[in-house]
Structure 1
Amino acid sequence: MINNPIQSLAEAAANWHQLPLSDDISQATRRAILDWFATTLPGCVQPPAMLLAAACHSSRGNGKAVCYVDGSLGSARHAALINGTASHTVEFDDIFKDGGYHPGSPTIAAALAVAQDQEVSLEQLHRAVIAGYEVGCRISLAIQPSHYTYWHITSTVGTIGAAVAAAMLLKGDATIIANAIALATSFAGGHQQNLQGEGMAKAMHPGHAADAGILAAMAAAEGMTGSMDSLHAPKGYAAATSDSTGNWDAAFEGLGEWTPITRMTVKNHGCCGHIFPALDGLRILQSEHGFAVEDIHSIHIKGYGPTYNMCNRPAPKSAQEARFSIQYCIAAQFFLGGVRLSAFSESALAREDIRAFMPRVSVSEDAELAAAYPRKRMARINVTLNNGQTLNHFQQTRKGDPENPLTDAEMIAKYDELAGSVIAPETLVNLRHQILHSNNLPQEIALK
């Protein structure tokens, strides 16, 4: 049993100041940063990041951090707020599946902004990102799955992960990092209604988390303190946002043996990750049996809890709703060949053939699959053809999960597709090379 989670997490993070970086860890960190840019840059030319950049124009402040929406330089907090928002807009950001958490959007947004502003080395940036993932992902294990009932974990835990990464870059020791965590627990927010309902708040969640995390780190670095019991006490963060004071044995399992950044899911579809097993399984089923979309009478998906209660949206009206609609995403995969950026364009959302097919798709919760969540994300798929034939498939993994990872070539293809939609080919190649092979911090990028 861990006596004090905050102190133990802070010590684990501070150790990354000097722990050796194996080739596997370094490569995983470079992949995470490449994937962050892949999902962030397309979000820079869409609301809410563009609207937020305009709204916060007068509060940009002085600094050397890059706001990728407009290429301006300003304070680390300003850049992290806008970039973190952009990174969550097109729903391609990484996942720590065991905790149901997207660490990259808030953690890398905060770390990169502080690193640029402080002009630190690339190695220091990498160490900060690794530490931020270490703490955030392990906290997610302590409070999930009950935390997700009312809270958006990427917003809440993301604030803490961002605080750790920023504190590392401000040369914080374990005491400073512990106080940054404690302060961040009071800044962490973001509820499910703004995740599942209408409006633009969801994408702002990791942006706010990145900003608030930097604030906590800056305050701690100047000597401000927080309660060292704020994570696990009866009136602390875990108790307030989950059904217990935290499963800290689960959180610390394997500490020192593996680090979370090496166990990330890289998104292969531009929608909610709870839809992925159905999309992957249907692609396998179609390749095995060769049926066409016009041959399908109906499709039924059995999934775990969020597959049904978050993604059963038979009539989405907006791109945001469509990204959480299993009916829309399955239809889009059949008619468009994939669920990528173009699937959520106005023209795609208005397609009559996609809309006409959606009522053929239904979804329910399977008790066995629900019991295995969040460690396993699975789906049972039943396809009934017009000739009466029934096809079944059990999808036990998602393409992109640690058990079935994207190759480096597939990750680069994803980056080229997403980032290439908003930056010039030469810039695309140069940035990719810089992230994967150089020892320099990424800086300004000109959007098309």
Structure 2
Amino acid sequence: MKAVCWMGKSKVETLSVPDPTLLNPHDAIIKVTKTAICGSDLHLYDGFIPTMESGDILGHEFMGIVEEVGKDVTNLKRGDRVVVPFTIACGNCAFCKKQVWAACDNTNANAHLMEAAYGYSGSGLFGYSHMMGGYAGGQAQYVRVPFANVGPLRIESDLPDEKVLFLSDIFPTGYMAAENAQIQPGDTVAVWGCGPVGQFAIASAFMLGAARVIAIDRLPERLEMARSIGAITVDYSEQDVDVLTALKDLTAGTGPDSCIDAVGLEAHSAELQGVYDAVKTTLMMETDRPIVLRQAIQAVRKGGTLSVPGVYGGLLDKVPFGAAFGKGITMKMGQTNMHKYMKPLLERIEQGQIDPSYIISHRITLEQAPEMYKIWRDKKDNVTKIVIDPWASAFNQEQLPTEPEDRSA
């Protein structure tokens, strides 16, 4: 089969690799019909996430048709159409039973690597380094899905793939970010980052009762998309625009009730702190660029809430924790507990409350993925979200049939 593989920092290739096989009676093999490049994949591309190995298959946002199931998989059958969550959960450990699915104790085979870095290990993830399980990702024609009795969500309606694909990660991630923000009816919410997760955080904040959402970014296409769903926008790249001052002006000096950092470790800034972080990360004296986190802590009102869906990988410098303490804020963060949100959000899509496909700007083939990683990283060509059809040819963009093939021969 064809798959998009990580070959080193800033190097991705589309290669022919062996088809996956069932390794465990709880496995399923999925024929991928749609997959996507996520903003957090860029952290791998840019070399910020350790324990990647040359040839690792990328991708954690995917859906498809069940091709084959292990003998202990009872909830799926060949031909079922499913969306697969990017976190892998066993369903039986203490954390899964508490619905803290992303903290599953049993799905990261390399838990010792995470424990060495973080003290404890979370769940395994598809296509996201060996310290998170070393699972092959979904930017491929086929993928092995472990614990298939627990993860995949069957799609039994005729909704097109593009309307449900983002249930695999970014729609639940944006929704959980808004839920973690503890929004009350009438609140003002500030969202840093108008990429895909930021867009869904904005939309979800309105769903949960926010009266105003202030969206902060520098890219015109993202700011326009945020305005199109009702947000007030702040372009921090404009001359004489100071984000903290703008937020005070928009909130009569009190600050937003909730702030959402949907950017994470690769934040940008033309200010001195941006130069400071760039130098320190280059010298490996700091692993992340926490510019947004600093601003959000300073901006949120006294007693407010800071929600962090943006990925952070390691050690941060100059975080104003005294301000967080002094204002008595609440901070909530972490990998998305996907299994809690997928079905309720599917119901919102089915009811017409939201069509997540509005964020898509590019539809490509697997062969085009390496170049699109560069375009996505460099924010060129007005890119907002990239969806891949693994069965389309670079010479013929028409989608091939998605009925399961007979691979038993």
What is the TM-score of this pair, normalised by structure 2? 0.35
Question: Is the strand fraction higher in 1 or 2?
Answer: 2
Question: Is the helix fraction higher in 1 or 2?
Answer: 1
